[in-house]
Amino acid sequence: MTTCIGMIGAGTVGGGVYEIIMNRLKSSSATITKICVRDANKPRDFQIDSSITQVVTDVSSILNDDSIDLVVEVAGGTTFAKDAVFAALKGGKSVVTANKALIAEYLDEIVKLVDEVNADKSKKAVKFGYEASVCGGIPIIHTLQSAYKGDIINEVSGICNGTTNFMLGKMEDGADYDDVLKEAQDLGFAEADPTADVAGHDVRAKIAILAKLAFGITVPIDTIPCIGITEISVVDFAYAKSMGCTIKLVGTAVRQSEFGEHDGALSVYVSPKLVPLNHLLASATGCGNAVAVDSSNLGTASFSGPGAGRYATANSVVADTMRVVNDTCPSSPFPMLSSRIDIDNDFVSAFYIRISFQDGLGIIRSVGDLAESQGVSIHSILQQPITDRMAADTVVTTEACKYSQVKALCELIEKEDFALSAPVFFPMISDY
């Protein structure tokens, strides 16, 4: 029996999905019979077999077609795409999507809808696949759904955005932020408005999804602390190099642990991190992605690969599609459910703080006094040779403390006469 697929969207990823399913697999078990696009006359960079596949501009042509069993949504966005996905599920059609923003924003509603539809045992169950929504071609979703059932996950952390990883890599080689951003835009890695990438919003949506998978709890994305890369400079990389580290934009979901027991509240956040060069996450270069999962049984396991691109992302969409076709897709998109974990996004970490200052007497003493006032213990003070006394930098690293404490400390430092700007601060991986 052939599963008929209706695909919404025919851009970069959609074209890859079509080519893999129709040209490479050529499977008798699945075929794309309709594609919904905004402009049917727009030239495509892939060939559509019009004898098999009809191009339509009205999504209801797919949603109301009883011959279509599965809807693949690769259009993106959270308005039109949401309406189409929800209507497909309500209509008894399974859905495969690469839309991380949609899933993160409407996570609980999607789970509830799938459960409601599948409560009617007289009808075929619908499935919801979303492998391509996080880390493109890395099969991290399916891994967390199936490979940790007898394990307890303590932490999931990942480099989940190829654009910012590319940019930070260039900055590590000495390039300025503005030049790197333009290069990323010229290469098509970054959008004309790069906010979703550089401000960390893309990673925030992805880590919310991974947190739900790993810990069974929904963390509203608007409660997740999110620090992007816009304030990072080559100066930070110089200090990082002196410490045997690099800087990566990392999404983190971790159970807090005072004595290593990992049974505390769940903290979820996005921030640049100072990462030791021998850490698993430091190995992700260029546009690559990497995820590290720490668990009771396995210790730390890592997963790396391409985080974006036509065929990398399309491969994950097709993998989900074939799991639906072969009835091996999980019945629940988020098998782990828990209501016993508290959420506390005032996370605990050692921190890196860069202070830009006009040189003078007593600056370090003042910083120490302010740190003491906020209960922050200083671990070390680093100073590159001063070449301009009117514009210099120093770095303070802290012992483990709360995000709120360091944030308050930096706000106080910014008010001091010697401060030239707000300090740049972000967490460090210091216990590796």
Residues annotated as catalytic are: 206
- Which among 336, 338, 339, 333 is positioned nearest to 117, based on CA atoms? 333
Query: HSE (CB half, 13 Å, CA atoms) of 303?
Result: 20
Q: Which residue in the block uniquely carries the two structure tokens 């190099």?
A: 241
**Three-class SS of residue 112?**
helix
Bridge partners, residue 97, by sequence: 73
Nearest residue to 70 (alpha-carbon basis) of 37, 33, 100, 98: 33
Specify the 3-state DSSP secondary structure of 380: strand
Distance between CA atoms of 323 and 318, rounded to whole angstroms?
A: 8
Question: Which amino acid appears at position 54 of this protein?
Answer: Q
Q: What angle do CA 53, 58, 59 make, to 5 degrees?
A: 80
Helix or strand run (H / E) with residue 39: none
Contacts of 95 (CB under 8 A, 6+ apart): 70, 71, 72, 73, 85, 88, 89, 126, 127, 128, 129
Q: Using alpha carbons, select from 250, 291, 279, 15 the residue that is nearest to residue 139.
A: 291
Exposure class string for 81-95: b at 16+ Cβ within 10 A, else e: bbebbbbbbebebbb
